[in-house]
Amino acid sequence: MHAGRLAELLGRWSSGNEALYLKLAARLEALIERGEIPADGRLPTERALAAELAVSRNTAVAAYDVLRDHGLVERRRGSGTFVRRPPRPGRGVVAEFNPMFLHLLDPVPDLIDLTCAAPPQPACLPEVVAEAALGDLGIGYHPSGIPALRQAIAGFYAAQGLPTDPGQIVVTSGAQQAISLLAQLFLRPGDAVAVEELTYPGALDAFRGSGARILGVPLTADGVSVPGLAEVVAGAKLVYLVPAFQNPTGSVLPSHAARRVVALCESHGVPLVDDQVLAGLTLDGPRPTPLARHGGGVISVGSLSKLIWGGVRIGWVRADPRTAADLARLKAVADLGTDVVAQAVGVALFARLDRLRAERQCELRERRDQVVRDLRAALPSWEFRTPPGGQTLWIRLPGVDSRRFAQFALRYGVALLEGTSLAAHESSSEHIRVPFTLPREALSEAVRRLRQAWEDYPRANGAGLALSGAAVADECDGHATFPAERDDEPAGRGSPVRPGREHLR
Ligand SMILES: Cc1ncc(COP(=O)(O)O)c(C=O)c1O
């Protein structure tokens, strides 16, 4: 298995108080037990794994020794380390799985999580929940969504100059499900989907889950490259774009380019999905125009998750009535409809949307400006533009492999989303995505920890710092300052204690 892929699967293995080699061994053990590393699969060399994880080679050697002592791997002199234990029978393994989801599934206290960009729970929520009126919803199954919510969403589009019939709306469990249903509807294994070369990782996972081939279209400072899209559109079965405050770069596709994109897709008969989840988060300048304003066939995806809160899980699709009807069938198979109580809360939230959006924008603007100031002062070599909206900074760490730096930063109590997780194609990346959704004190603390990690990183890694560098100095591991690290030298390696469940994080 490639060391980079293994590092992704390992996720935040290095958080916690035990010695690094024990934490690494415990995490590898969990992956082997779950069958995520196939039996007979060859693990990366100690040197490659150490370089990828920004640890000393001793740490990798000791972790592999623990696995050998537990009977999980075989160490063959000269040819490598091989997994011995077969996975539990009768269980498939979820193959595509990005680090963002890993961090959600495996939360660690005291870690500042910069992998997921999501707003905090709004203070008014209890009030809104109390206000929510259910009315008579019959037996409660509404695969397309309850009438009041479909009406509210249709009104939301009408207010943006897009007259919409409620029959064009399908309510989903967040935009994530909307994207998954669209993938199910339009993509068969082997079909191609064109996306911006950097994009929302949840969409990449959904498309890969459908067995689709991903065609990454180059990005410019102004969103997707129209000539780049023109080159691939004929071979695609679906085009998926985030033209408003693009995730992760924050760019906005200008109207003239948006018109050309819509015309291009129409002329090739390829459905175009406009992911508008971030479109309401304007911080400077006007609200971007939905692509559907430029052509009738555009499918819009939206959600309350970023405007209000991800916990309500209210998303939707706006499409032509036939596509909406097809999606409703898929939605019925998926879950028979989104929870109607959450939908009633959604209706109450739509009634307050203008005020809540203004509050969210104000909060995000303050947090963005603060983190921009702090980063420019603390980490002047980091390169980024201040985005006009959205909720993330796209930062270049010059000359540094961001995956390795992300591994290193974990030991300072910060989880980062490295650029490769957002890339349509496997590549190394010098970029990280940093959200500014956390409270201001947490953002200040994150910058402080990142600065410390950055200061220690060159000293710790020497040649490992550069993208091309591979070797990691053996004495590097003792520098970690958070969470409190025990001496990394694997004491008592001859008879390691079998790690308990608490080590499996
Ligand atoms: C561009 C984009 N689309 C879709 C989603 C998924 O949103 P939801 O929480 O509504 O499922 C996200 C979440 O981060 C996103 O950034």
Do both 349 and 272 map to the same domain? Answer: yes
Q: What integer pLDDT is reported at residue 353 of this predicted model? A: 96
| Residue-wise pLDDT tens digits, 406-415 | 989 989 999 9
> What is the pTM assigned to this prediction?
0.83
Tell me: do 277 and 352 sit in the same domain.
Answer: yes
Concatenated DSSP letters for 114-180?
A: ES---PPPPTTHHHHHHH------TTS--TT--HHHHHHHHHHHHTTT----GGGEEEEEHHHHHHH
Please report which confidence band the pLDDT of residue 228 belongs to, taking 50, 70 and 90 as the band edges. Answer: very high
pLDDT at 204 > cutoff 50: yes
Residue bearing the CA closest to ligand 1, atom 7: 175
Same structural domain for residues 221 and 368? yes
Confidence of residue 220 (pLDDT cuts 50, 70, 90): very high
Same domain, 195 and 306: yes
Least-confidence region, from 25-39, 199-213, 265-279, 440-454: 25-39
Three-point CA angle 256, 262, 264, nearest 5°:
100
202 lines ligand 1 (CB under 6 A): yes
Q: Is residue 322 part of a domain?
A: yes
Ligand 1 in reach of 181 Cβ (< 6 A): no
* Protein residue with its CA nearest to atom 14 in ligand 1: 117
**Measured torsion, CA atoms of residues 118, 121, 122, 125, in degrees rounded to the nearest 10:** 130
Q: Is the CB of 305 under 6 A from ligand 1?
A: yes
Ligand 1 pocket: which of 113, 204, 277 to mutate (most atoms within 8 A of CB) = 277
- What tens digit of pLDDT does each residue of 463-488 get? 444 443 333 333 333 333 333 333 33
What's the CA gap between 426 and 323, in Å, rounded? 32
53 lines ligand 1 (CB under 6 A): no
Q: Is 281 in the pocket of ligand 1 (CB under 6 A)?
A: no
Q: Are 419 and 496 in a shared domain?
A: no
Q: What is the predicted pLDDT for the residue at 20?
A: 87
Q: Is 288 in the pocket of ligand 1 (CB under 6 A)?
A: no
Q: What average pLDDT does this structure show over 74-101?
A: 69
With respect to residue 370, please indicate whether it lies within any of the assigned structural domains: yes
User: How much distance in Å is there from the Cα of 174 to the middle of ligand 1?
Assistant: 7
The CATH code of the domain that includes 453 is 3.40.640.10
Q: Are residues 300 and 336 in the same domain?
A: yes
Q: Domain tally for the chain?
A: 2
When mean pLDDT is compared over 68-72, 312-316, 477-481, the highest value belongs to: 312-316
181-202 exposure pattern, b = at least 16 Cβ within 10 A, e = fewer: bbbbbbbeeebbbbbbbbbbbb
Range of the domain at 233: 111-458
Res 441: pLDDT: 96
| Whether 83 and 149 share a structural domain | no
| pLDDT (0 to 100) of residue 91 | 56
Give the ligand 1 atom nearest the CA of 303.
Answer: 10
Check pLDDT > 60 for residue 418: yes
DSSP per-residue letters across 28-77 = HHHHHHTTSS-TTPEEPPHHHHHHHHT--HHHHHHHHHHHHHTTSEEEET
Q: Residue 80 maps to which CATH number? A: 1.10.10.10
What average pLDDT does this structure show over 113-123?
92
Cα distance between residue 145 and residue 338, in whole Å: 7
46 vs 87, higher pLDDT: 46
Identify whether 47 is part of a domain. Answer: yes
> Is residue 92 predicted with pLDDT exceeding 50?
yes
d(CA 64, CA 50): 11
Report CA(277)–ligand 1 centroid distance (Å).
6
Name the band, by pLDDT with cuts 50, 70 and 90, for residue 495. Answer: very low
The alpha carbon of 303 and the centre of ligand 1 are apart by a number of angstroms equal to: 7
Instruction: Please check whether residues 30 and 168 belong to one and the same domain.
Output: no
In this predicted structure, the answer to whether residue 276 has a pLDDT above a threshold of 60 is yes
